[in-house]
Amino acid sequence: MIRWIIVLIVIVCAVVLAETKGSTCNDHHPKCVRWAAKGECEKNPKWMLQHCRMSCGQCASANVHNLHKLAISQKEEAFKVFLGIFIVLVIGIGIKVIFYGETCPSDAKLKGKTVMITGANTGIGKETARDLAWRKARVILACRDVTKGLKAAAEIIESTGNENVEVKRLDLASFKSIRKFAKEINEEEEKIHILINNAGYLGPYKKTTDGLESNFQVNYLGHFLLTNLLLDKIKASSPSRIINVSSMQHKKGRINFDDLQGEKSYGQFTAYNQSKLAQVMFTKQLADKLEGTKVTVNALHPGVVSTDIMRNFRIYQMWVLRPIISVVSYLFFKTTIQGAQTTIYCAVAPELDDVSGCYFDNCREVPCGENATDEGVAKKLWEISETLCYNVNE
C-alpha cells in the first residue's frame, strides 16, 4: 500500500513538471529555430502556437504571445491546485495506513470476566465494549444517558451474540451519582476484573453539580473517586486491571495548583490537557500503591479519533464548516474502532499481566510526558484530590 502511494505521488509530480516545462520558452525546437531564422513564423500558426509556446516574441506577435502566456499560466495554476489536493489526499490516507493501522494482536477470550467501562454508549467506549463482549466478557456500560446506553447495549448484543451486557447510570459530573453507582456495584457484583475509565469531556467552561470545572472532574477527579470506591472489589478480583484512557495532550499539560478549577483564567484545551496529565499522574501513583496486589494500572493515548467529543468544539458548531471537518476527520483521524485498539490491548494482552504504571500508544508501551513523572506534583495532586472528593457535597 505504501509503495503504491509513493508511486502515485511520483507519477503526478512528473506529469505536472512536464506541463510546467512544456509551458516555458521553446525556441529551441528545431522548427521554431528554423522558422524564426527565416522569418517564417506565420508559416503554420496553429503548429507554432502548439509547439513554439512562449516563444519569447521570436515566433509570435506580442498579442498572441501574451494570450498564450495567460492560457498557460492558468493551466499551470489548475495543475498546482490538482497536485495540492491529490497530495493532501494521499498523505491523509498514508497517515492512516502507516500510523493508525495497529490493531490489538491478542485473541484472548474473557469468559467469566466482568468488565466495566465508563462512557460506553458511544465512540471509543462503545467499540471497546463491543470487542470485549465479543470475547465473551460480562460487560457493564456505565453511562450518563441510560437511554443511549440501552441502545448501545442492544447493538452490541446483536452484533456479538453476547447477551451478558448491562447498563447502569453513572454521571461523573456528580459525586453523588458516583457514590450511588459504586455502592450498587459493590453490593451487586461479585467481581470486577477490568475497570476502564474511558468517559471524557472537552468543552467550554462549565461547572459540575459539585461546583468544580467539568474537564477536571469528568476526565480525572470523577474517575479518581470511582476507582478508589471500587478498589477493594477490584483487589478481591485479582488478577485485575485498571485502564485510564488519557491523551497525548497530557504532554502539554500543567497542574496549576493556583487555579486548578480555571476560575481565574480558562482555556478549554488548557483545562483538558491538565485533566489528561492528572490521569497519567494518577495512574503512576496508584500503580505504586498497588504494587504486589496483582492489580495493574496503565494509561493510554487512543489516537486522534473522530468522536462525539468534537461536538463541543466551537468550529464544529459552525454548520458551514462541518462538511470540511468531516473530510478532514475521514482523512486524518482514527475511526472509533481504530481508536479502541490500544484500550483493548491494555485490557486483554497476556504480556501485560505484570506491567503497571506505564503509558501506551498504538498498542505499544511508549514514554509518557516528562511532566507526568514529577513525584512531588503527583503526590500533592493526590492529596488535593482526596480532599476535594471527600469534602465536597459529602
Is residue 66 included in any domain, yes or no? no
> How many residues would you count in the chain?
394
pLDDT band at 24 (very low <50, low <70, confident <90, very high): very low
Helices 62-99, 322-332: axis angle to 10 degrees equals 60
Is residue 22 included in any domain, yes or no? no
The pLDDT of residue 255 is above 60: yes
349 vs 317, higher pLDDT: 349
Is residue 126 included in any domain, yes or no? yes
Q: Which domain holds residue 134?
A: 114-391
Check residue 119 and report its DSSP letter.
T
Is residue 283 included in any domain, yes or no? yes
Which alpha helices (DSSP H) does the chain contain, by range? 2-22, 30-38, 45-51, 62-99, 123-134, 146-160, 175-188, 214, 222-236, 268-289, 322-332, 336-348, 375-391
**pLDDT at residue number 348:** 98
| CA atoms lying within 13 Å on the CB side of residue 280 | 32
Which strand (E) or helix (H) includes residue 43? Answer: none
C-alpha 17/C-alpha 84 separation (Å) is 13
pLDDT band at 335 (very low <50, low <70, confident <90, very high): confident
Question: How many other C-beta atoms are found inside a 10 Å radius of the C-beta of residue 51?
Answer: 15
The pLDDT of residue 196 is above 90: yes
What residues are annotated to the active site? Answer: 272
For the record, the C-alpha cell of 91 comes out as 498523505
The pLDDT of residue 353 is above 90: yes
pLDDT band at 390 (very low <50, low <70, confident <90, very high): confident
Is residue 7 included in any domain, yes or no? no
Is residue 278 included in any domain, yes or no? yes
pLDDT band at 67 (very low <50, low <70, confident <90, very high): very low
Digit-coded pLDDT (tens) for 358-375: 999 999 999 999 999 999
Is residue 135 included in any domain, yes or no? yes
Mean pLDDT in residue range 273-286: 98
Structurally, the chain folds into a number of domains equal to 1
Mean pLDDT in residue range 298-308: 78
Distance set, CA 156 to CA 8, 121, 128, 129, 134 (Å): 40, 10, 10, 8, 9
Nearest to 349 by CA among 146, 128, 136, 107: 107
For the record, the C-alpha cell of 271 comes out as 483545562
**pLDDT at residue number 22:** 46
Is residue 72 included in any domain, yes or no? no
Write the CB contacts of 384 (distance below 8 Å, at least 6 apart in sequence): 257, 260
The pLDDT of residue 314 is above 60: no
**Can you name the residues that pair with 115 across neighbouring β-strands?**
139, 194
The single residue listed with the C-alpha cell 475497570 is: 195
Using a pLDDT cut of 90, give the percent of the chain over it: 62
Range of 6-15, 23-32, 85-94, 159-168 with top mean pLDDT:
159-168
Using a pLDDT cut of 70, give the percent of the chain over it: 66
153 vs 55, higher pLDDT: 153
For the record, the C-alpha cell of 323 comes out as 462538511
* CATH number of the domain where residue 339 is located: 3.40.50.720
Digit-coded pLDDT (tens) for 127-156: 999 999 999 999 999 999 999 999 999 999
